[in-house]
Amino acid sequence: MMTNRWPHMALAVLSGLLALAVAAAEAFTQGPRGFGRPVVLGPDDVQVLPDPPAGFEIPQVGIPRGQVEMISYDSKSVGTTRRMQVYTPPGYSKDKKYPVLYLLHGIGGDENEWQRFAQPNILLDNLLADGKATPMIIVMPNGRAQKNDRAEGDVFRSAPAFAAFEEDLLKDVIPTIESRYSAAADREHRALAGLSMGGGQSLNFGLAHLDTFAWIGGFSSAPNTKPPAQLVHDPAATKQKLRLLYLSCGNKDGLIRVSQGVHAHLKEHDVPHVWNVDSYGHDATHWRNNLYHFVQRIFTQDE
């Protein structure tokens, strides 16, 4: 018997169209690259550190100030001359050795991004005047390790260059700083932190090189973060070496699932860490506020 197939075909076409419409609606509401994904908060996803006091980012009057300078270095792995910003604290002197924080930017940024979002020099000058931080050098390199390292065009295409930065950091950036500045050159005096792509880089490189870094921070870490079990594959060793592991994310940031996954793994394996979930999004306020907290908690042995 001949059956009429038209109703079936019409149905198939209709459900195909419906699936497309649902996918388009999801792409629209979740935004590109997961920024707008729905945030699902668990019981641990709470703010453990208060927002900084009013005026923390405004230069205090009459206090000594550090300096920020742009320097160039030859990168062997990239094959070009690259740039980084270097903050030296007030009273910087060759007679002392300073710990160093390497501070990494996001996917759309470069060596100037942290200065634009947070002015780490102002935060540090203020904290030092109040006796709330250890004098340190802060290095803001360019984490896009490729010949054209400007944030141009579709910045997501440069994601592989953010992975390649591991070699530039370890073999060129750190040796440059330790040869040109009065820097203490051991793991207890090196910290690595960053925002978004830079957060992922800090977790990936820092936890893989605990002989180089003892203090690690990831703010709003991006999906370039390695899977948690890969990041911390030997929890006992990680625990023994880490001085601080600081994770933060805003509760309006669609990328929060990345940090939630890292926190869950650390908790499961009893690796001490800070997990601070504040009320911001993927934005400069979150990065500035959490940098303020992070810098007060590093290099505390030097106090």
Nearer to ligand FER, 144 or 243 (CB): 144
Q: Which helix (H) or strand (E) holds 160?
A: helix 159-168
Nearer to ligand FER, 7 or 32 (CB): 32
User: Are the beta carbons of 168 and 175 closer than 8 angstroms?
Assistant: no
Among 74, 101, 65, 96, residue whose Cα is nearest residue 86? 101
Nearer to ligand FER, 106 or 218 (CB): 106
Angle at 12 between CA 6 and CA 13, to 5 degrees: 90
Nearer to ligand FER, 95 or 154 (CB): 154
Closest CB 42 distance from ligand FER, rounded Å? 21
Closest CB 248 distance from ligand FER, rounded Å? 14
Closest CB 242 distance from ligand FER, rounded Å? 24
User: Are the beta carbons of 82 and 150 closer than 8 angstroms?
Assistant: no
Closest CB 287 distance from ligand FER, rounded Å? 10
Which residue bears the tokens 């990041």?
231
Closest CB 259 distance from ligand FER, rounded Å? 13
Nearer to ligand FER, 99 or 218 (CB): 218
Nearer to ligand FER, 110 or 125 (CB): 110
Among 208, 216, 243, residue whose Cα is nearest residue 101? 216
Q: Greatest CA separation found in the chain?
A: 98
DSSP state of 301: G
Q: Which amino acid, residue 102?
A: Y
Residues 6 or more apart in contact with residue 38 via CB below 8 angstroms: 30, 254
* Residues near ligand FER (CB under 6 A): 33-34, 106-107, 159, 196-197, 222-224
Closest CB 141 distance from ligand FER, rounded Å? 15
Q: Is 182 exposed, middle or buried, given 0-12, 13-18 or 19+ CB atoms closer than 10 A?
A: middle
Closest CB 283 distance from ligand FER, rounded Å? 10
Nearer to ligand FER, 100 or 107 (CB): 107
86: tokens are 């270097």
d(CA 99, CA 300): 10
